[in-house]
A and B are shown apart, each in its own frame.
Chain A
Amino acid sequence: MADPELVASVTGGGRLTAAEAVDVYRGGYPARLTGALGETYETCWRVLGDDGFFAAARGFIARFPSRSHDLSDYGAAFPEFLESLPVAKDAPYLGDLARFAWTFKELFHAKPHAGLEPALLAAQARPEAVLRLGGAVRLLCLRHRVYSLFRRDEKDETPVQEAEWKGEQRLILYKKEGNPIFVRELTAPEHAALTALAAGLPLADALAAAEGLDEAGARELFAFVSAAGLVTHIE
């Protein structure tokens, strides 16, 4: 209900009463935030259906006000909120699906970086070197395999099968200058190595942190890092 003091301080436009006029603005707020959540978490919306998604959005909006000037910043805590809902018992992957969607959105808005030329990277990547990853790179380690669910055709209404989401998934999301977002699934050692690199460990230490990564695997990973332009400078 609108604040009675506010209602008493205004007159309605057109044929609106003061309370109705205040409600025009009050109603706009959840509508805009629901729209923002719907844009970022479209795949979760498809899983939950209209009723489920709108109910989740209502609950979330009631607990989390929008603080940023940018509407697309709204909803960072939505993955954890979804996991707290009863529906997550039937769809335990929902939180990770939302986490992926948020990361994808973040990367969409991230400034593309210019990666080092492969030849330059190869020449300077000594064991003690620290390879700095660019700003348009995100690493994810998820408890459920949600990437294929994220990519699901929006017209595909077949129920989500357990086999589609069961098991962990490690991913890297990145974009090259002027290009769309790329997603690559990583092995556990690859993810460990890249996470260590992102944390600022020297190359040799990062590779050592990747338990189970043999020499061939390390070469393959380095070739990917180089071709994807993930490194922007070397220290």
Chain B
Amino acid sequence: MREDYPIALHGVSLSIGGVEGPRPGYLQKLKSLAARVDPFLITDHLCFTGTHASNTHDLLPLPYTEDAIATVSRNVAIAQDVLGRQIALENVSSYLSYRESAMTEWEFLIAVARRSGCRILLDVNNAYVSAINHRFSPETYVDAVPRDLVAQLHLGGYTDAGKFLFDTHSRAPTGPVWELYRRVIRRMPDKPVLIEWDEEVPEWSGLEAQAVRAAEIQREERERQPA
């Protein structure tokens, strides 16, 4: 596959927000894998997944505080030092927020990228899910993210769980997410885009149709750009 396609390594276990730092050995394994695959990008999530003694295997949200920015920045420095390259961190969907948070989610995301020297994997679906769950404007969120910090875009589908939106990757992106995506693409039409669909995966044609639609929106917005 690598001979024919560029590949991004996308992890879920770096736990970049963990106060203990990355798990011993994890970064070395990732480095070995990267040496084998030669990915164009290495990404993980802006979250923590537990402690070294107990892993929840979940993308747990961080409080949006200066302390958390410092913790993540320290861990990004460790990760980038071991890997010998820049990484990108993805905004996660969340179902709770911390009372101690002192800034918005996008202010936190941008501050982490600027201070740590990593880039942003902007998941448009996650931005929408968190915006609806936490009652802020998804447009304000994505408009605030500087184009030069973004390394890749993700799209996925959520499930309406009744009381909240749940990021399940089990269906196609919804209409509002496509609209938000178009808004993002208008500002950054050349970013690589990935469709995430890893639960209740459809026939290839169903998945491919989402990728075709994403590419079509990119093409339309590129053509609208002033020469």
**A and B interact:** yes
| Chain A residues engaging chain B, CB cutoff 8 angstroms | 9-16, 18, 20-22, 24-25, 28-29, 32-33, 65-71
B13 and A10: CB pair below 8 A? Answer: no
B55 and A21: CB pair below 8 A? Answer: no
Residues of A contacting B67 in the complex (Cβ-Cβ under 8 angstroms): none
B residues 48-104 in Cβ contact with A at 8 Å = 49, 52-58, 60, 94-100
A16 and B13: CB pair below 8 A? Answer: no
A69 and B56: CB pair below 8 A? Answer: no
Q: Nearest-CB distance from A151 to chain B (Å)? A: 27
B54 and A14: CB pair below 8 A? Answer: no
Q: Nearest-CB distance from B75 to chain A (Å)? A: 14
Q: Nearest-CB distance from A33 to chain B (Å)? A: 7
A11 and B95: CB pair below 8 A? Answer: no
Which of the four size classes fits the interface of chain B? Answer: 20 to 34
Name 7 A/B residue pairs within 8 A (Cβ), A-sorted: A9-B99, A10-B96, A14-B165, A16-B95, A20-B163, A22-B96, A66-B57
Say which residue of B52, B55, B60, B96 sits within 8 Å of A13 (CB atoms): B96
Determine the distance from Cα of A9 to Cα of B61 in the docked complex, in whole angstroms. 13
| Chain B residues engaging chain A, CB cutoff 8 angstroms | 13, 15, 23, 26, 49, 52-58, 60, 94-100, 130, 132-134, 161, 163-166
Chain A residue at minimum C-beta to C-beta distance from B63: A9
Say which residue of A16, A18, A33, A70 sits within 8 Å of B164 (CB atoms): A16
A71 and B95: CB pair below 8 A? Answer: no
Say which residue of A9, A14, A22, A67 sits within 8 Å of B100 (CB atoms): A9
Residues of B contacting A32 in the complex (Cβ-Cβ under 8 angstroms): 57-58
Which label, helix, strand, loop or mixed, suits the secondary structure of the A interface?
Answer: mixed
Chain B residue at minimum C-beta to C-beta distance from A73: B55
Chain B residue at minimum C-beta to C-beta distance from A68: B55
Residues of B contacting A21 in the complex (Cβ-Cβ under 8 angstroms): 95-96, 164
Given A14-B165, A67-B53, check contact A29 B58 (CB 8 Å). yes
Q: Nearest-CB distance from A219 to chain B (Å)? A: 40
Residues of A contacting B23 in the complex (Cβ-Cβ under 8 angstroms): 69
Determine the distance from Cα of A91 to Cα of B136 in the docked complex, in whole angstroms. 55
Determine the distance from Cα of A71 to Cα of B100 in the docked complex, in whole angstroms. 31
B13 and A14: CB pair below 8 A? Answer: no
Determine the distance from Cα of A10 to Cα of B100 in the docked complex, in whole angstroms. 8
User: Can you list the 7 inter-chain pairs with the closest CB atoms, starting with the nearest?
Assistant: A14-B164, A13-B133, A69-B13, A21-B96, A65-B54, A15-B163, A10-B96
Known: A10-B98, A16-B95, A29-B57. 18 other contacts (CB 8 A): A9-B98, A9-B99, A10-B99, A12-B95, A12-B164, A13-B97, A13-B130, A14-B95, A14-B133, A14-B161, A15-B164, A20-B163, A29-B56, A29-B58, A33-B57, A66-B55, A66-B56, A68-B55
